[in-house]
Copies of this chain bind each other. A is one copy, B any other.
C-alpha cells in the first residue's frame, strides 16, 4: 500500500495508472500535478485523482512515489522543476517511451540520476490521449519494462515493480539501450511508417476518393496514425539513433521488394511474403 502517490501529468497513461491503483486498493491518496488545470479538474471530477496541486513543491510534499507521465520531450523541464523539492526518500519513476533520453534528462536535471529514480515504460496505450480516455484496465496483462541503472536502489525497483503489478501488468527489466532498440523496431518505426503512408495518400490529388475505397485492412494498418503527433515528434527526436538504424534496415528491405515487383521476380516476393506471414502468425499465438 502506497500512502501518497503523486502523478505528474494526468493524461491517458498517468490517469489509467491512478485508476488501476485506486481500484486495486493499492494507494491511499493520489495527488495530481500538471500544467493544464482544466485536465486536472476533470481528473478530479472523474475520481482519477483525489486532489491536485499546481505548485510542484506542494504536489511532491509527503509523496512516497512520484510517477512522471509527461511526453518524453517535456521530461527534462519537469524533472528540473521537481529537483529542488524532491525528498531523497521519495521514489520517482517515469513512463517515457524512450529510456536513454529520460536517463540523460534526469542526469542533467539532478546532476546524477538519483538512486531512487527508476526509469520505466508501460507497453500500453491507445491512439487516444487525455485523462478522459483513461481506464483502469489499460495495463491489465500488458508488459512494463523497467530499466534500472547499476546504482539504482533495489528497494525502489521493488516498489515500482509492485505498483505496476498491482495495476495488473507483467514487469520485466532490461538495459536502457536494449529497450530503445526493441521499441524502435516494434513501436517507433511502425508509427513513422503509418504517419508517412497516410500523409502520402492524403497529399495525392484524388485523396477523398482514395480513402473512400479503403477497407478494413487499411483501417487497421493506419490506426496508429491517429496517435498524438506531439508525443511521436518527441519520441522520434529522443530515440533518433535506434530509429534511424532500424528504418535504414527497413528501407533497404523495401528497396529489395520494389526491385522484385519491378523485375516480376515472383519467387522473391513469395519468399518474403511467406516468411513474413509465418512470423506474424507465430506472433499471434
Partner of A276, one of B195, B219, B230, B277: B195
Is A193 in the interface zone, CB < 8 Å from B?
yes
Tell yes or no: A151 within 8 A of B by CB: no
**A250 adjacent to B186 (CB under 8 Å):** no
Residues of B contacting A262 with CB < 8 Å? Answer: 240, 244
- A198-234 with Cβ < 8 A to chain B: 198-204, 206-207, 209-230, 232-233
14 contacts between A and B (CB under 8 A): A186-B211, A186-B213, A193-B221, A199-B272, A200-B250, A200-B253, A202-B279, A217-B227, A220-B220, A226-B284, A229-B270, A229-B273, A229-B276, A240-B264
Q: Are A257 and B192 in contact (CB under 8 A)?
A: yes
Is A26 an interface residue, CB under 8 A from the partner? no
CA distance A138 to B190 in the complex (A): 28
The number of chain A residues touching the other chain, given as a range, is: 35 or more
Shortest CB distance A6–B (Å): 26
Quick check: is A197 within 8 A (CB to CB) of the other chain?
yes
In the bound complex, residues from chain B placing their C-beta under 8 Å from that of A41 are none
The segment out of A8-16, A119-127, A152-160 that lies at the interface is: A119-127
Given A123-B213, A243-B261, A279-B199: A223 in contact with B220 (beta carbons within 8 A): yes
A140 contact set on B, CB distance < 8 A: none
- Given A225-B280, A264-B237, the answer on whether A213 and B273 have CB atoms closer than 8 Å is no
**Whole-angstrom distance between the Cβ of A267 and the nearest chain B Cβ:** 9
Contact residues in B for A36 (Cβ distance below 8 Å)? none
Contact A274 B229 (CB under 8 A): yes
- A 243-260 contacts with B by CB, 8 A: 243-244, 246-251, 253-255, 257-258, 260
Q: How far is the CB of A279 from chain B (nearest CB, A)?
A: 4
Residues of B within 8 A of A215 (CB): 123-125, 142-143, 186-187
